[in-house]
Chains A and B, each alone.
Chain A
Amino acid sequence: MALITTDRLTKRYGQVTALTDLTVEIETGVVGLIGANGAGKSTLIKLALGLLPVTSGSATVLGLDITTDGAAIRERVGYMPEHDCLPPDVSATELVVHMARMSGLPRTAARERAADTLRHVGLYEERYRPIGGYSTGMKQRVKLAQALVHDPELVLLDEPTNGLDPAGRDEMLGLIQRIGSDFGISVLVASHLLGELERVCDHVVVIDAGRLLRSSSTADITAASPLIAVEVTERADELAAALRAAGLGVVAAGAVLEIDLRDESTYDLVRDSIARLDVGLIRLERRRHRMAELFAVPAEAAGA
């Protein structure tokens, strides 16, 4: 089933155009929405919630029209805002129970679901304390819990890793992956960081300045033409020249050389070239194409 479909969706705020002729079809699963700040990610999410009037075009979420069925969509969708949205003087439990009730759960069910959901996002004893004393990581978990508490079919997460340290970021990404795989809830997760979404998403949609750059499965993007990454102690440029002379495609990415992997003989060629130059080998690893290259594509296209 299509999770979200948009057809020439356009949104303007006065003179500012946030989304332009966006046509995309997103299937169920964990979907990454990638774009720089101001690319239109948050606008797309708010449109999907049926909370903003559409300038032109149309869109559906879970098969429901965003202009006419907003309330029905919001019954079946959870939303985690990008900004702070937690009152400091109540506990996580109180807030999540209240928000469960605001989603239509009866009182007893709201209490049970709130306790379960907070446990799933990793908040235990601290959930009885006022939110004002929480760390950023704990606050993000509470925001996620309130989006999940009514067991939606889809959660819209706007920059869920914002402000988290690397460990917290990993935990949040792990949680997002579990929401998709273990909970069976589809996820649309917006981020400006490509690397992190690559790990957890089945599908990515890339938007830039309100336009669709690319929409494809993560496997398609990252599986194509494998690379090996090589890092040597010195004279990397000479190594690159030697390998190019041997007919291999080589791209220098900082201190690391990315070499197109043709077949097993490529490894031998690399090893022999390094031995001939008599430099130390720090790293030799198999690597997939990175999503970062997605952004390189339009830049080249624009230049061509």
Chain B
Amino acid sequence: MPDPSAKGVIHDLGYRHYEGERLGRAQIVRALYVDSAKGAFGIGRSAKSKVMPMLVLGAICLPAVIVAVVASVTHLDRLPGGYTSYLVKTQALIMVFVAGQAPASVSRDLRFHVMSLYFSRPLQRVDYVAAKLAALATAVFVLCALPLTILFAGALLAKLPLSEQLPDFSRSVGGAVLLALVLAGIGLVIAAITPRRGLGVAAIITVLAVLAGVHGIVQGIATEQGNDSVAGYAGLLSPFSLVHGVQHSTLGADTVYPASPPGMLGAWVFAAVLVAVVGGAFGALLLRYRGVRI
């Protein structure tokens, strides 16, 4: 019989053992991947950490929405700007997103020694690196693919022919995948080297902006002087132009830069450099985390 005097007393139920399901390593990695990818947009994190990624997401979609609305209302016969050039024109926003979210994803864990808590669990170092890289790449991809999808929807609403729109749209989405991998790789490597978050943000922005600037200058001068080969290969200098080059010469998208990878050789070189950048970033991260003592 319950004792009426015991009302309102919090009973210590004692310790209960966990008899339920325990997931394996693959599912743990998946959980880290999903949480980190959501975390890049501030989902599951504090309200404060939602502000920046959501602002960037809104800003990058806004022009697409305007184009889509204008196209469908005025019944244009082609999309102004097109898909491929969209991400080149909005690259500053993508840089800001990567610079903000790469350090948020890894710097905190390194700076506050949270890695000891991860590595004393079944997760291996390579799992952590893979999950974080895939998560940031996914987030960057979503950031890039969302406005492209809005453009595509606008094109369909404007009754533009699907047979023309779909290949262009698909190529740009393929480009977004490559861009996401390259930027996530570069961003995470820099963020993992500089565990102070503010420093990481500044370093990533600087590196990406300087590379883009150098690419523009070198390509501009080479084009001016008529050196097509140098102008073409200058595209290797910046992540955006590198991906754009692969997108143009391998996926067959149109280009917005004055020069493109020269010929078959150029196509191979660009593709190889892209693979090397992504693979190199993964390798560098592994090396970095191998050095983390628990």
Q: Which of A176-200 contact B (CB under 8 A)?
A: 178, 182-184
- Chain B CB within 8 A of A51 CB: yes
A90–B119 CA distance with the chains assembled, in angstroms: 19
Residues of A within 8 A of B123 (CB): 102
Across the A-B interface, give the 8 residue pairs with the lowest CB-CB distance, nearest first.
A79-B120, A151-B18, A183-B15, A104-B23, A104-B22, A81-B116, A85-B113, A87-B112
Pair A74/B122 contact, Cβ less than 8 Å: yes
Pair A151/B17 contact, Cβ less than 8 Å: yes
Pair A104/B28 contact, Cβ less than 8 Å: yes
Residues of B within 8 A of A71 (CB): 25, 122, 124
- Chain B CB within 8 A of A285 CB: no
Q: Which of B1-37 contact A (CB under 8 A)?
A: 14-18, 20-25, 27-28, 31-32, 35
Q: Which of A137-154 contact B (CB under 8 A)?
A: 146, 150-151
Pair A99/B121 contact, Cβ less than 8 Å: yes
Q: What are 10 residue pairs bridging A and B, where the CB atoms are less than 8 Å apart in the complex?
A: A79-B117, A85-B113, A102-B118, A104-B24, A105-B22, A109-B21, A182-B15, A183-B15, A184-B15, A184-B17
Residues of B within 8 A of A84 (CB): 112-113
Residue of B nearest to A86 (CB): B112
Pair A99/B294 contact, Cβ less than 8 Å: no
A153–B119 CA distance with the chains assembled, in angstroms: 18
Pair B117/A81 contact, Cβ less than 8 Å: yes
- Chain A CB within 8 A of B109 CB: yes
Tell which of B17, B27, B46, B117 touches A104, judged by Cβ atoms closer than 8 Å: B27
Pair A109/B20 contact, Cβ less than 8 Å: yes
Pair B294/A81 contact, Cβ less than 8 Å: yes
Residues of B within 8 A of A240 (CB): none
Q: Which of B102-158 contact A (CB under 8 A)?
A: 108-109, 112-114, 116-124
Pair A75/B113 contact, Cβ less than 8 Å: no
B219 CB, min distance to chain A CBs, angstroms: 42
Pair A51/B120 contact, Cβ less than 8 Å: yes
Pair A109/B122 contact, Cβ less than 8 Å: no
Residues of B within 8 A of A105 (CB): 18, 20, 22-23
- Chain B CB within 8 A of A163 CB: no
A-side residues, CB < 8 A to B, are 46, 49, 51, 71, 74-75, 77-79, 81, 83-90, 98-99, 101-107, 109, 113, 116, 120, 146, 150-151, 178, 182-184
Pair B28/A83 contact, Cβ less than 8 Å: no
Residue of A nearest to B109 (CB): A87
A77-B120, A101-B35, A103-B121 known, 10 other contacts, Cβ within 8 Å = A49-B120, A71-B25, A75-B22, A85-B113, A87-B108, A89-B108, A99-B117, A106-B21, A113-B18, A178-B15
The main secondary structure of chain B at its interface with chain A is: loop
Count of chain A to chain B residue pairs whose CB atoms are closer than 8 Å in the complex? 93
Pair B113/A81 contact, Cβ less than 8 Å: yes
Residues of A within 8 A of B25 (CB): 71
A120–B15 CA distance with the chains assembled, in angstroms: 8
Tell which of A46, A113, A146, A184 touches B117, judged by Cβ atoms closer than 8 Å: A146
Pair A75/B14 contact, Cβ less than 8 Å: no
Pair A74/B22 contact, Cβ less than 8 Å: no
A101–B53 CA distance with the chains assembled, in angstroms: 25
Pair B113/A102 contact, Cβ less than 8 Å: no
Pair B21/A74 contact, Cβ less than 8 Å: no
Residues of A within 8 A of B28 (CB): 101-104
Residues of B within 8 A of A104 (CB): 22-24, 27-28, 122
Residues of A within 8 A of B122 (CB): 71, 74-75, 103-104
Residues of A within 8 A of B116 (CB): 79, 81, 83, 85
A190–B280 CA distance with the chains assembled, in angstroms: 41
Q: Which of B250-290 contact A (CB under 8 A)?
A: none
A72 CB, min distance to chain B CBs, angstroms: 8
Residue of B nearest to A88 (CB): B112
A302–B31 CA distance with the chains assembled, in angstroms: 55
B20 CB, min distance to chain A CBs, angstroms: 5
A86–B45 CA distance with the chains assembled, in angstroms: 16
Tell which of B16, B27, B109, B119 touches A116, judged by Cβ atoms closer than 8 Å: B16
Pair B112/A74 contact, Cβ less than 8 Å: no
Pick from B17, B32, B112 the residue with the most CB of A within 10 Å: B112
Pick from B22, B45, B117, B122 the residue with the most CB of A within 10 Å: B117
A217 CB, min distance to chain B CBs, angstroms: 24
Residues of A within 8 A of B14 (CB): 182
A46–B119 CA distance with the chains assembled, in angstroms: 11
B113 CB, min distance to chain A CBs, angstroms: 5
A85–B22 CA distance with the chains assembled, in angstroms: 24
B200 CB, min distance to chain A CBs, angstroms: 15
A152 CB, min distance to chain B CBs, angstroms: 10
A88–B231 CA distance with the chains assembled, in angstroms: 48
Residues of B within 8 A of A182 (CB): 14-15
A278–B31 CA distance with the chains assembled, in angstroms: 76
Residues of B within 8 A of A116 (CB): 16
Pair A85/B117 contact, Cβ less than 8 Å: yes
Pair A74/B121 contact, Cβ less than 8 Å: yes
Pair A51/B294 contact, Cβ less than 8 Å: yes
